[in-house]
Amino acid sequence: MKWIFPRGCFSSILQPVLLHSNPGRPVSCSTVFSSHKPRIPLHLRPPTSRATVADLKKWHIWAKNLVSSVGSTFLDLDNGPDSTLLQRELTWLVQDAFENPNKVSFQNSNDDDSVVSLRACLDDLYEMWKQRIEERRPFQYVVGCEHWRDLVLSVEEGVLIPRPETEMIVDLVNDAVNENEELRNGLWADLGTGSGSLAIGIGRILGDLGKVIATDLSPVAVSVASYNVQRYDLQDKIAVKQGSWFEPLKNVEGELAGLVSNPPYIPSDHIAGLQAEVAKHEPRLALDGGANGMNDLLHLCSGAVFMLKPGGFVAFEVSTHFSRFLA
C-alpha cells in the first residue's frame, strides 16, 4: 500500500489504491445508542414562543450594539470573528429562531404590536447572543447545527464542528468508488466520527451493498452522530458504535474496503493559542494529538494495515507538521 502525504496543506490525504477481489461476509448495521439525548437544532424546534415586534426590535438593537463593540478585537487577539462575520451570524440566528423571518421588518414601525412566533423565547435569544459574544461560544453550538456540504448536521458541546476542508475526504472517496465497484459496495469505517459527517457523506455515495461503521469514544458524539444518521434515513447503511478507534471493529478485522478519519493532530501545547471558540469550547478529546500531535495518527496508521483488505483505501486528515515528519 502506497501512502502519500502532500506537504504544505491543512488536509493531507493518504493515496488510495484499488481494492483486490476478496469479498467478505455480509455485515448488518446496528447502532449502539448512548444514554445522552442530543439537542434538537434551533431551526427544527417547534415555534412555541411568542414576542411582539417591538420587543424583538429592542433585542436586535442590543445584539447589533454588541457586534459593533467587538470590531476587530477577536480577530486581532486570536484570529477570531470580526464584527462583519458576527453580523452575518446574527442574521442567521434570526432566520433559525423566527418561524417566518422574511415577514418581520425591524425598520417598519407600523408592525410594532404584531406578534411573532419563535422557536426560542425572547429571554433565550438574549442569552444565546450574550454567550456568543461574551463567552465566545461557537455559533454552531448556539444554534445547534452546522452546514456541511449539502447537509445540515446537529452539533453541540462535546462534538467537534465539521470543517470545510474535511469535505476533501468525501470527494476522494467519491472518485474512488466511481471507479471501483468493490469499493462502492464494500464495508467502510469512519474512526472518531464526531457528528457523523464523514460517515454520512460516504454512506450517501456508496452502492446498495455498501456499509459504514462509525466509531467514537465519546458518548455525546455517538448520540449526536446517531441522530444525524437517522435524520438522513441512513440507519440501514451506517452503524454508529462507541469505543476507542479500532476496538468496535474487532469482528471485521481484515474486511474493510476503506478507512477514513479526521483524528486529533494538534500538539498539546498549541491548543491554548487557538481561537477561543475552539480552545475553550470544542472537545479537547477531538483536538489534542499529544506532545507532537501524532499520537493518534501513528496509532491509526499502524492499525489500518490489519483492518483493511489488500489494497484498501485510506484517507486521513493530517497537519502539515505530520506530513513533514513522514517525509
Average pLDDT of the chain, as a whole number = 88
Check if the beta carbon of residue 183 is closer than 8 Å to that of residue 313: yes
C-alpha angle with apex 18: 13 to 22, nearest 5 degrees?
A: 125
pLDDT single digits (tens) 3-23: 423 222 333 333 332 222 233
Q: Residue 55: CB partners within 8 Å, gap ≥ 6?
A: 122
For the entire predicted model, the pTM comes to 0.87
Taking the alpha carbons at both ends of the chain, their separation in whole angstroms is 16
Residue 36 confidence (pLDDT): 81
pLDDT at residue 113 greater than cutoff 60: yes
pLDDT single digits (tens) 218-265: 999 999 999 999 999 999 999 999 999 999 999 999 999 999 999 999
Amino acid at 84: T
Residue-by-residue DSSP string for 232-294:
TT-TTTEEEEESSTTGGGGGGTT-EEEEEE----B-GGGGGGS-HHHHTTS-GGGTB--TTS-
pLDDT at residue 319 greater than cutoff 60: yes
pLDDT (mean) for 304-316: 92
Residue 32 confidence (pLDDT): 56
State percent of the chain over pLDDT 90: 80
CA distance 202 to 190: 9
Phi, psi of 323 (to 5 degrees): -65, -35
Q: Which helix (H) or strand (E) holds 36?
A: none
DSSP-based three-state secondary structure for 138: coil
pLDDT at residue 128 greater than cutoff 50: yes
> Worst-scoring range by mean pLDDT, 27-36, 74-83, 182-191, 300-309?
27-36
Quote the cell numbers at residue 117: 412566533
